């Protein structure tokens, strides 16, 4: 059934299916092409009459996943230039005061969109939440340091989307004073950065960070080096005018090739911090949009009025190492080398991880080490600054894929959070017949947090309580303390 609402830009036609009404592909800013390429997001377009909002909007230019990741994650491409758009699901356009959930997708800042099937937020609306999924500019368009262009345009897009929510969500039954912003991977890193950004203050009251925290930004010097290499690759100056002259497809191809080059050369030290950060087009510290390392500002009190739910999966890095076949070639020397590069006391760390995982192969030890350093420890650093205002969880259920070696990997929890285990795309990471019971528990925890700020267990404090979602979900106090202590030396403002 068609449903029409009025927003600031004009009238919109959505569609109802059972208890949920959806409005898809709504532009929150002008299309970022032509003279708007590399510009800050412009105010959204308006229209006469009724605009259809019944199909997914355009996706931003992106490099795309390669095998084997492309076989695990869905990555739809919707053509068109109006890629700065949002999707909205609501239980009742005639309601008022409903809590709002805004989802920022992941994809290493170079992939992803709100068209990914498992981001269908119908279950949130079914359970009384107005849900919004957003797009933002990716790769160099969104995050490269370009002379003559505003910094961190992808983050400015996210702020513009949140401002659109503030100004329009009441038309869908939502309350702009009850907004939770959430994300996974690069989306969670974005949320951590938004928590620290003056421009995002007051736009959300709660935040959920899954597999990302407040440490994934690069320095301006590194961003300048990446931009110079990209400009050289496309034969243009590293300016807005120069790079805007490069066709979009060629520009995307050059980013993919540069990413491959940086990955290959990073271990030599040629790219400095990118040997550890791993993402050449992530946000950078520009002194304005991103004033400083997000964790530093959060520790100093930025976003202190925002409630936080933060979590990781038990074996995040299996996603990056197992499908590619890397773990089979890892030996103890490689584990020790990685620990040394991260700055750990190698002997102490090896003993702690071996005691924790006595039967693990060297490849499995490397997964545990990299999971902790890249995901778990940065998440705890956010929590440690919150003085009882943060809830922590861990997703422990293990995928049966790759003979069980994929484990509780990165991105596995998303279809459980969105309660979409019935979607065929889900099986690409969960395998057949994933347990609905865990989806019921995890989705309910997020619903309760969005609605009331209380997901169902106590905040992280002196007992370090962590909800572990698995076959038998329960709260654990200070899980894996010895390997947590391995990283006690880490400067808590420069992970």
* CATH code for residues 311-486: 3.40.50.1820
Structure tokens at 246: 């490069």
Q: What is the pLDDT of residue 385?
A: 82
The yes-or-no answer on residue 96 being catalytic is no
Taking residue 491's Cβ as centre, other Cβ atoms within 10 Å add up to 8
Rounded Cα distance between 142 and 32, Å, is: 10
Taking residue 439's Cβ as centre, other Cβ atoms within 10 Å add up to 24
pLDDT, mean of residues 58-76: 95
Determine if residue 153 is left, alpha or beta; phi over 0 gives left, psi from -120 to 50 gives alpha, anything else beta: alpha
One-character DSSP codes across 247-297? -HHHHHHHHHHHHHHHHHHGGGTTTTTHHHH--TTS-B--SSSS-S-HHHH
Q: Is 309 exposed, middle or buried (0-12, 13-18, 19+ CB in 10 A)?
A: buried
Tell me: the pLDDT tens digits for 433-480?
Answer: 999 999 999 999 999 999 999 999 999 998 999 999 999 999 999 999
List every span in the chain annotated with CATH 3.40.50.1820: 2-219+282-305, 311-486
Q: Which of 105, 216, 410, 443 is catalytic?
A: 410
Rounded Cα distance between 20 and 23, Å, is: 10
H and E: helices and strands count for the chain = 18, 13
The yes-or-no answer on residue 410 being catalytic is yes
Q: What is the pLDDT of residue 388?
A: 67
Tell me: the pLDDT tens digits for 123-174?
Answer: 999 999 999 999 999 999 999 999 999 999 999 999 999 999 999 999 999 9
The CATH T-level fold of domain 2-219+282-305 is: Rossmann fold (3.40.50)
pLDDT, mean of residues 325-340: 95
Query: Is a pLDDT exceeding 90 seen at residue 389?
Result: no
pTM for the whole structure = 0.96
**What dihedral do alpha carbons 289, 291, 292, 298 form, nearest 10°?**
-90
Q: What is the pLDDT of residue 490?
A: 65
DSSP state, 239?
A: B
**68: cis peptide before it, omega within 30°?**
yes
**Please, what sign has the CA dihedral across residues 237, 240, 245, 246?**
positive
Q: What is the pLDDT of residue 386?
A: 77
Q: What is the CA radius of gyration of the chain?
A: 22
pLDDT, mean of residues 270-290: 94
Query: Which band of pLDDT confidence, cut at 50, 70 and 90, is reported for residue 60?
Result: very high
DSSP state, 476?
A: E
Rounded Cα distance between 22 and 8, Å, is: 18
Average pLDDT score, the chain: 95
Taking residue 241's Cβ as centre, other Cβ atoms within 10 Å add up to 14
Lowest mean pLDDT among 275-279, 289-293, 413-417: 275-279
Q: Which of 82, 315, 316, 413 is catalytic?
A: 316
* CB contact at 8 A, 55 and 73: no
pLDDT, mean of residues 386-397: 89
Q: Which of 185, 314, 385, 399 is catalytic?
A: 185
Tell me: the pLDDT tens digits for 84-99?
Answer: 999 999 999 999 999 9
Residue 210's nearest CA partner among 62, 317, 104 is: 104
Query: Is a pLDDT exceeding 50 seen at residue 493?
Result: no
Query: Is a pLDDT exceeding 90 seen at residue 277?
Result: no
Share of the chain above pLDDT 70, in %: 98
């Amino acid at each position: 059934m068609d449903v029409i609402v009025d927003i600031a830009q004009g009238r919109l036609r959505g569609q109802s299916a059972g208890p949920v009404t959806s409005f898809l592909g709504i532009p929150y800013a002008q299309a970022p092409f032509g003279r708007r390429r590399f510009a800050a997001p412009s105010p959204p377009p308006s229209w006469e009459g009724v605009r259809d909002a019944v199909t997914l909007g355009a996706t931003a230019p992106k490099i795309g996943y390669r095998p084997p990741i492309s076989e695990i994650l869905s990555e739809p491409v919707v053509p068109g230039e109006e890629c700065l758009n949002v999707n909205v699901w609501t239980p009742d356009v005639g309601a008022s005061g409903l809590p709002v959930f805004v989802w920022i997708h992941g994809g290493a800042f170079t992939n992803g969109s709100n068209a990914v099937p498992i981001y269908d937020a119908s279950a949130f609306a079914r359970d009384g939440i107005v849900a919004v999924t957003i797009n933002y500019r990716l790769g160099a368009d969104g995050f490269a340091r370009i002379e003559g262009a505003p910094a961190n345009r992808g983050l400015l897009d996210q702020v513009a989307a949140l401002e659109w929510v503030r100004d329009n969500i009441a038309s869908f039954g939502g309350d702009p004073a009850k907004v939770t912003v959430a994300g996974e991977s690069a989306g969670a890193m974005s949320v951590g950065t938004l928590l620290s950004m003056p421009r995002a203050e007051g736009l959300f009251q709660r935040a959920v960070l899954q597999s990302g925290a407040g440490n994934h930004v690069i320095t301006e010097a590194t961003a300048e080096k990446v931009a110079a290499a990209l400009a050289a690759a496309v034969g243009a100056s590293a300016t807005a005018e120069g790079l805007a002259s490069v066709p979009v497809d060629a520009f995307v191809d050059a980013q993919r090739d540069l990413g491959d080059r940086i990955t290959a050369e990073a271990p030599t030290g040629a790219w400095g911090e990118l040997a550890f950060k791993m993402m050449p087009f992530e946000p950078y510290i520009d002194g304005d949009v991103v004033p400083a390392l997000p964790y530093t500002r959060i520790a100093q009190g930025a976003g202190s009025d925002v409630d936080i739910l933060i979590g990781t999966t038990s074996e995040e890095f299996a996603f990056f190492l197992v499908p590619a076949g890397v773990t089979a070639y890892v030996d103890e020397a490689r584990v020790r080398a990685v620990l040394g590069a991260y700055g750990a006391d190698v002997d102490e760390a090896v003993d702690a991880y071996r005691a924790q995982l006595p039967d693990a192969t060297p490849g499995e030890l490397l997964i545990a080490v990299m999971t902790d350093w890249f995901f778990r420890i940065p998440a705890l650093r956010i929590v440690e600054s919150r003085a009882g205002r943060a809830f922590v969880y861990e997703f422990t259920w293990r995928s049966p894929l790759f003979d069980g070696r994929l484990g509780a990997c990165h991105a596995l929890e998303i279809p459980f959070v969105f309660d979409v285990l019935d979607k065929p795309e889900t099986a690409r990471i969960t395998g057949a017949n994933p347990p609905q019971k865990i989806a019921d528990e995890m989705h309910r925890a997020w619903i309760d947090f969005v609605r009331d700020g209380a997901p169902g267990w106590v905040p992280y404090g002196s007992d370090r309580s962590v909800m572990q979602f698995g076959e038998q979900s329960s709260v654990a106090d200070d899980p894996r303390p010895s390997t947590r202590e391995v990283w006690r030396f880490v400067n808590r403002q420069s992970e």
